[in-house]
Amino acid sequence: MTKRFLQALKGETLNPPPLWLMRQAGRYLPEYREIRASAKNFLDFCYTPDLAVEVTLQPLRRYGFDAAILFSDILVIPDALGQKVEFVSGQGPQLAPIKSEAELEAILNLDGLHEHLKPVYTTVHRLSKEIPETTALIGFAGAPWTVATYMVEGKGSKTYEEIRSIAYSDPVFFQRLIDMLVEATSLYLIEQVHQGAECLQVFDSWAGVLSERQFHTWSIEPMTRIVEKVRAVHAEVPIIGFPRGAGPLYEAYVRETKVDGVGLDHTVPLTWARDVLQPLTTVQGTLDNLLLVAGGEAMDAEIKRILETLGSGPFIFNLGHGIVPQTPPEHVERLCALVRGEA
């Protein structure tokens, strides 16, 4: 059976467009919160296939999305490479920072990558058998730059001043870190496809903080290499890139990485996306996730505007970033009805 989500990534224009939402399995759902409470910590949650499969399926039961995305986290890669990773309640991820080549050599290696990530692969395999036959399965990973921000700074950041400074002042170390992440991420994504993923999305959530030159060096170039490595093994599997906040650099990203689809954040002008990006690739997005929280006439009007502007080309409806915990589930239901022409 042809899956609408995969049709759109082949360049087909569909009416209504396929629909899924980033972080569609998450804390806004009461059934997710119930399952999450049964895990001792977030990494354990990600590494327990019974739990990860269940929460991946939850939003499909509620909303019938056209795609399911593996439930995991981008930081399983540094964890699998040997860096200490913890998720602390109220503080988010906490990592033992790596700030020099010596620390990189002492800690990280690829040897145990697949063995460490075996529970994630089990989840992918099970999902490939358990999701509805019309639903596509998306595997994913964080992009090297975004994952490196956590590895170097040891936690999330608002400014990314430290890592950007290190990338300028010690490019040899930083290139080695990025090279390792390119290799690890490629191996991880390739194995997800082996286990049943039908599409891959690479999240470069913090790409928007980079200067133009840094964006080419640390976002575009690593992603280009990942795409090449994955396609050398799985030429048929579509790849979506999401360099959030890239602004006008989205065009260079699409042209140089040769992704099959590009995720757009809510700041991207719709007519520019239609005129510049859509002739090059399938576009995905772009509703502001906080507008989904607000709901009402403003949300309805923006959904209509997105559909009218981007719906005449290859398009997948999504948010400009992941669903936030305070989102009312009934607003997601309303969004689905509007996109599908049922409201």
Instruction: Quote the distance between the C-alpha of residue 70 and its chain's center.
Output: 10
**CATH number for the domain that contains residue 99:** 3.20.20.210
Question: 37: burial class by Cβ within 10 Å (0-12, 13-18, 19+)?
Answer: exposed
Q: Which residues of 82-112 are buried (b: 16+ CB within 10 A; e: fewer)?
A: bbebebeeeeebebebbbeeebbeeebeeee
- Active-site residue 73, yes or no? yes
pTM: 0.97
> pLDDT class for 205, splitting at 50, 70, 90?
very high
Say how many domains are in the chain: 1
User: 28, 47, 63, 150: which one is catalytic?
Assistant: 150
* Residue 47 burial by Cβ neighbours in a 10 Å radius (0-12, 13-18, 19+): buried
Q: How many CA atoms lie within 13 A of 159 on its CB side?
A: 3
Tell me the CA end-to-end span of the chain in Å, nearest whole number.
27
DSSP states of 230-277: HHHH-TTS-EEEE-TT-GGGHHHHHHHH--SEEE--TTS-HHHIIIII
Domain containing 71: what range? 4-339
Strand order through the sheet with 136-142: 67-69, 136-142, 199-203, 239-242, 261-263, 282-287, 315-319
Task: Say which of 36, 62, 176, 274 is annotated catalytic.
Answer: 36
Annotated catalytic residue within 23, 126, 164, 225? 23
- The residue from 27, 62, 231, 274 that is catalytic is 27
In the chain, what percentage of residues exceed pLDDT 70?
Answer: 100
Catalytic residue among 73, 79, 260, 288: 73
107 pLDDT above the threshold of 80: no
Q: pLDDT tens, 217-248?
A: 999 999 999 999 999 999 999 999 999 999 99
> Is 4 an active-site residue?
no
Nearby residues of 55 by Cβ (< 8 Å), 6 or more positions away: 25, 32, 35, 36, 71
Counting beta carbons within 10 angstroms of the beta carbon of residue 119, is it exposed (0 to 12), middle (13 to 18) or buried (19 or more)? middle
Cα of 204 vs its chain's centroid, Å: 7
Q: How confident is the model at residue 91 (pLDDT cuts 50, 70, 90)?
A: confident
Interatomic CA distance for residues 189 and 187, integer angstroms: 6
Q: Is 23 among the catalytic positions?
A: yes
Least confident segment among 89-98, 232-241, 316-325, 333-342:
89-98
Q: Is 36 tagged catalytic?
A: yes
Cα–Cα distance between 292 and 327 in angstroms, integer?
7
Q: Kindly indicate the confidence band of residue 297, based on its pLDDT and cuts at 50, 70 and 90.
A: very high
